[in-house]
Structure 1
């Protein structure tokens, strides 16, 4: 999904570009219209001067050139006039040997148009029909014209300068948008880094010092949620520890009673002693889990390979009677797992506890990326599980210790955590070590803290 910053940058840039293009088009239209109107106004003035300087007699036309502008004298000067009366035609000296193709007009009729003039330049023309002269054949038509090439050149220069200024302003505005948004989103970037530290367990709350007022309530609510969750986790850890410690005394009393019972009924005493041993081991594992996860932050994700190293050290202490060699093959592309750190420690704690219990000497942990999914395998070199018994490993509602020796409640907890985080878990025989192989798959859509 596109970020808010990118969306704002694109939308604001598009808005500035669109408004600038509309503005440039509107200004060009206004300048062209003003250029055209100024030429027409000048032609009207020239037309009046030519009419005043002209004398229409019987089939003849006289022009007093002293009353006209000197622009009509040089050849092809760009300003022209022509008078037509029947077959009589009088042209300005500036037309030289060229003549304008004029359509006679009725008295009082005007015509404005453009055509090709001297030197094949575009010219703007204005004609007007005058009242008929007594004794003349027809009525006179007066025409004035102006070369458009010079005016268009000036217009191009003016509009080019205007376009350059507008483009420069546009670039400055786009750069300003980028810089302003970048500066405005700096607190959000800092918050993003702060959340990353929370995921890695390097901090316990968000700093509110540089949080913008718009998102400060969200940050405060998030901190309150973190504090509440942390207190809940601490309370659960304390309750778990208290329960485990509280069970030790009744367990010790029961052991004493079993020893007394052993004098009368050795078989019953042996069966009870076996169950008491399992209860004792379960209590020790829960106490170890409480020591591992009790001080974790509620927003922390599992960091790879740091947390796995910590788990393996703990498992080495729990299974100190054997020397288990923990091997790692972890891709650098997977710095953390997108699951809660406490749940991750319990998930991998159970898997590593099971692998350590049945391994002869080696446990292999592999983590890598495959088509965006995180793939995790934990293998041991123990006796493994027959293929027919693999589906029973995570069966609910039964003590699997009784069905498959050694693979018990821990794997059922593993399945519960995998269902919570929508992880895919499967069991098979390890092709390289020969023991049990557990495969976990984290889908690529899993992001953030669940």
Structure 2
């Protein structure tokens, strides 16, 4: 499952890394250029000052030149004449490659044996004289590197903070969907026929599309029900005529043909009845209404007693007050009607119905004191048309209709042999939607 929040944060993180890398590179390049230009400008000014000093001291008398050190301990001044060298810091200059520098005018960088970094400028005055100004840039270079690192650390902290703010913004933006989810749950429970217009501009097309889809599905479902009902009513008269003709003694049919004709007519009747029941299974819809589960079970219990008046049936109902069916009332009546009819057919005298709600599911158990399935694993009775006793009237569609309804709601049906009453136990587990 794709998470939009994670996807957005991942993309933002990648973009942030790219921007940090680019900005760090540009910062390092720009600041290094500025830093280098500043130091080179300082060397030029020091070299001009040194030349002025040499002019005042009469450069043609080099042997008598005495270089007065300016008050800058970070600069070294060197004057060369052929093989002669005058320096303001002889001990430091002694290890430097002066011969390689004195004949090439321009800037140079040098790293000493102790790791010190120097930046120098060579200015050739004539064929005999050249001056060299060297600056110790170790400290400023270290500070420049620290500045780059500080900038990188600040950028990373800023990105983390921005991602945190971005996550808050994303969560707040998607929180508006919670209102839409609540409205969908209200619509599913029957508290609202349609979704309300969203105050969020971006959600309005989604709300309109959902409402349009609901209208289309309701129209299609209503049209299908009407079509199936019209078809079933249209088939009843021809089927009744077929039965009457087949049962007449003067129809000219031999007994085997008549039995075959009646058998096929019965099959057609079963098919019509099955499709009528299936047409009434609508699943979760927008027209569901809140109703009393206990009252529906009590009403159906009274109906079952009237259907089987030949035996005294006692229906024990244990229904919690907070039980809610997450769907249409007609679906619940169809569901419980099939289960209670099946239990009334097979029971001796007692039917037990238990309905309760957990945090996420509606749980219903129906048990009778009949002979049970007689099977170690009665789950195959959930298949369409399978019956525990072929001698009894019925076509085995009751449990399969129950399975169809429960499947519509994403639930589960389990069959087992009850140890207490001895009959068949039918257990339903139907999930609630979020917001129940």
TM-score class, shorter-chain normalisation, is 0.5 to 0.7
1:217 aligns with 2:211: no
CA contact (8 A) 1:123 1:147 kept: yes
1:319 aligns with 2:319: no
Return the structure number with greater relative CO, CA threshold 8 A, min gap 6: 2
Residue by residue over 1:300-337, the C-alpha shift from the partner in whole angstroms, topping out at 9 and shown as x without a partner, is: 7899xx875454333333235633223479xx9x9977
Equivalent position to 1:124, from 112, 119, 132: 119
Tell me how many residue pairs correspond in the alignment: 381
**3-state secondary structure, aligned to 2:317:** strand
Residue by residue over 1:19-42, the C-alpha shift from the partner in whole angstroms, topping out at 9 and shown as x without a partner, is: 234213321232123212321232
1:146 aligns with 2:135: yes
Of residues 99-108 and 196-205 in structure 1, the stretch that sits farther from structure 2 once superposed is 99-108
Within 5 Å, give how 1:20-419 maps onto structure 2.
20-54=20-54, 56-57=59-60, 60=63, 62-63=65-66, 65=68, 70-72=70-72, 77-85=73-81, 88-92=84-88, 95=89, 97-100=91-94, 101-105=96-100, 107-110=103-106, 112-116=108-112, 121-128=116-123, 131-133=126-128, 140-152=129-141, 155=144, 166=155, 170=159, 173-212=162-201, 214-230=202-218, 298-299=285-286, 309=294, 311-320=296-305, 322-327=313-318, 343=331, 346-359=334-347, 360-363=349-352, 365=354, 378-387=366-375, 393=381, 396=384, 403-404=391-392, 408-417=396-405
- Residue 4 of structure 1 corresponds to 4
CA contact (8 A) 2:387 2:395 kept: no
- Residue 252 of structure 1 corresponds to none
Q: Structure 1 residue 162: deviation in Å?
A: 5.3
CA contact (8 A) 1:111 1:126 kept: yes
| Distance (whole Å) between structure 2 residues aligned to residue 373 and residue 302 of structure 1 | 18
| Distance (whole Å) between structure 2 residues aligned to residue 53 and residue 389 of structure 1 | 113
Residue by residue over 1:207-238, the C-alpha shift from the partner in whole angstroms, topping out at 9 and shown as x without a partner, is: 104142x4423322322333454466678889
**3-state secondary structure, aligned to 1:112:** strand
| Distance (whole Å) between structure 1 residues aligned to residue 90 and residue 49 of structure 2 | 20
Tell me the TM-score normalised to structure 1 length: 0.63
Question: What do you get for the CA RMSD once the two structures are aligned?
Answer: 5.2
Tell me the TM-score normalised to structure 2 length: 0.65
| Distance (whole Å) between structure 2 residues aligned to residue 388 and residue 172 of structure 1 | 63
